[in-house]
Amino acid sequence: MTKTKKLTLMAIFIALSFVGSLIKIPSPLGSVGFDSAAGFISVLYLGYISGATVTMLGYLVISMSAGFPLGILTIGVALEMFFIAIAYRYFYRINRILGIIVGTFLNGVVSPLIVLPVGGWGLYIALLPSLTVASLLNLLISAIIYTALRRIRRKYDINSA
């Protein structure tokens, strides 16, 4: 894949992250969207660093559009997203279900620990149900779409995709 093609795909996936953020899952504290699905697809399709960068930048774009509701924690969450995407790809390559489980656990249970200094355990507990469900749905969507992309690529023998 050429550098130009990879950068173009990265930009498209970042834009799709924003579009995904407009699809909301209701939660007690606002809503959680499908913003990370595109990032998780990209980490499977484009590779570790390019895909994780898309996941991180996609999160930053969505956070910026919302006025950075987490303040300085936004940087920490963006870095969490980067490393969660890498872990997801790593475990997905071993076993799809394992990748989804590890990704859901890291994104839904571990990553919200970052709010403890500002919101305490109450905020953390309140985030768990909706964030875990949203994480699972984003990861399931990414696995389904990635599988479809691979089938299309094989069917049409697209070597340079």
The residue-averaged pLDDT of 3-11 equals: 95
> In this predicted model, what pLDDT tens digit does every residue of 28-50 receive, in sequence order?
656 668 889 999 999 999 999 99
Q: Do residues 104 and 135 touch, judged by C-beta distance below 8 A?
A: yes
Task: Supply the pLDDT for residue 159.
Answer: 58
Q: Sketch out the chain's domains with CATH numbers.
A: 3-21+35-155 (1.10.1760)
pTM over 0.75, yes/no: yes
Q: What is the mean pLDDT of the chain?
A: 91
Task: Supply the pLDDT for residue 28.
Answer: 62
Region for residue 20 given its phi and psi (left: phi exceeds 0; alpha: psi -120 to 50; beta: otherwise): alpha
The residue-averaged pLDDT of 98-120 equals: 95
